[in-house]
């Protein structure tokens, strides 16, 4: 088996800002596995918040043995971006060799389109109202907050898109007191979910806190080993393949999380359609789907995912799986 890893850069359609900073492009790593005339691909987005860089993740992938299986990969790489790209490439390679789709190999029902959130970049209230008005036809909008001036922004988005459902991502920028103070206003404005209001590792204050607006664990939830520490603090878990280390663990996390009573959100980093493609399988029937990465790009893969009024569609085999 030949393992190749390359760096790809996708310019964004516009500057994308969250409370941690701004970006104008998505830098991703693409893994291609070749064996017996077949190729499988996967994509990951190294994330500085988790101590990852393009260089460190490349080194992890290049340090793998010539032959590797999905089962062996769990012991060779930790949950994270490197394992994600290789795991998804192995699924794709197996599907190509078998002449089947990944959903068939995984014993899943045939997937269909799912409505996805569309993320509005953090900006001034006036600019965010304009963004919201431009996207008011979308059924679900996601707002990046986590600043001292969140309420004017939220009010502006609701005014710009009065009919859209709204979810909020605080990106670890709030405290328990801020959440409690804002909760009545969030309810009034129809917010359906708040992602990661408190810093991961310092979120014990959520335990026993009344949560009239459901709270979702993002940075606090990586793989199944995270679940024990989330009970009583969170209502929903955000499953991202770059955190779980690939589709294999993402599917297992979904099953175990639901069995423990957590709602499921399926999210993404800012990447191309190749990164979203495996996640569409995890997203089937999820409470919230947030796979809008390609919608933020100025250009995408040669065979992109289809987005339309029904949502994000599963990939064609030429893209993945």
Residues in the chain with pLDDT values less than 70: 19-20
What is residue 217's predicted lDDT score, i.e. its pLDDT? 98
Residues 6+ apart with CB under 8 A from 37: none
What is residue 204's predicted lDDT score, i.e. its pLDDT? 94
Mind listing the pLDDT tens digit for each residue in 79-94? 999 999 999 999 999 9
Residues 6+ apart with CB under 8 A from 267: 218, 238, 239, 240, 290, 291
Catalytically annotated residues: 144, 240
Q: C-alpha distances in angstroms, 41 versus 211, 234, 268?
A: 41, 34, 17
Q: What are phi and psi of 155, to 5 degrees?
A: -60, -40
Question: Taking the mean position of all CA atoms in its chain, how far away is CA 134?
Answer: 23
What is residue 207's predicted lDDT score, i.e. its pLDDT? 94
What is residue 23's predicted lDDT score, i.e. its pLDDT? 84
pTM of the model: 0.95
Q: Are strands 311-312 and 263-266 parallel, antiparallel or unpaired?
A: unpaired
Only one residue has tokens 């393949």, namely 241
Q: Are strands 307-308 and 311-312 parallel, antiparallel or unpaired?
A: antiparallel
Indicate the helix (H) or strand (E) that contains 21. Answer: strand 21-35
Q: Are strands 2-18 and 21-35 parallel, antiparallel or unpaired?
A: antiparallel
What is residue 18's predicted lDDT score, i.e. its pLDDT? 73
What is residue 82's predicted lDDT score, i.e. its pLDDT? 98
């Amino acid at each position: 088996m030949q393992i190749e890893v390359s760096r790809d850069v996708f310019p964004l359609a516009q500057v994308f800002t969250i409370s941690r900073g701004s970006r104008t492009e998505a830098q991703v790593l693409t893994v291609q596995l070749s064996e017996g005339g077949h190729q499988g691909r996967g994509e990951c987005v190294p994330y500085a918040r988790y101590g990852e860089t393009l260089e460190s993740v490349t080194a992890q992938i290049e340090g793998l043995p010539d032959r590797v299986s999905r089962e062996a990969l769990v012991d060779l790489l930790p949950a994270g971006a490197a394992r994600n790209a290789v795991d998804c490439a192995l699924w794709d390679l197996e599907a190509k060799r078998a002449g089947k789709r990944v959903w068939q190999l995984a014993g899943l029902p045939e997937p269909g389109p799912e409505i996805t959130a569309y993320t509005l970049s953090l900006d001034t209230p006036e600019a965010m109202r304009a963004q919201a008005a431009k996207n008011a036809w979308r059924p679900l909008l996601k707002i990046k907050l986590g600043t001292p001036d969140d309420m004017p922004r939220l009010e502006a988005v609701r005014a710009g898109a009065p009919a859209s459902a709204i979810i909020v991502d605080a990106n670890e920028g709030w405290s328990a007191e801020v959440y409690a103070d804002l909760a009545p206003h969030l309810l009034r404005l129809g917010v359906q979910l708040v992602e990661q209001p408190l810093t991961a590792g310092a979120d014990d204050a959520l335990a026993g806190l009344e949560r009239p607006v459901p709270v979702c664990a993002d940075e606090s939830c990586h793989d199944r080993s995270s679940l024990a520490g989330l009970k009583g603090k969170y209502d929903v878990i955000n499953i991202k393949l770059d955190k779980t280390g690939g589709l294999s663990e993402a599917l297992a996390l979904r099953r175990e999380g639901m069995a423990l009573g957590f709602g499921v959100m399926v999210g993404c980093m800012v990447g191309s359609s190749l990164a979203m493609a495996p996640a569409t399988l995890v997203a089937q029937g999820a409470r919230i789907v947030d796979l809008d990465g390609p919608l933020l790009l100025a250009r995408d893969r040669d065979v992109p995912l289809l987005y339309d009024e029904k949502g994000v569609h599963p990939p064609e085999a030429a893209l993945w799986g």
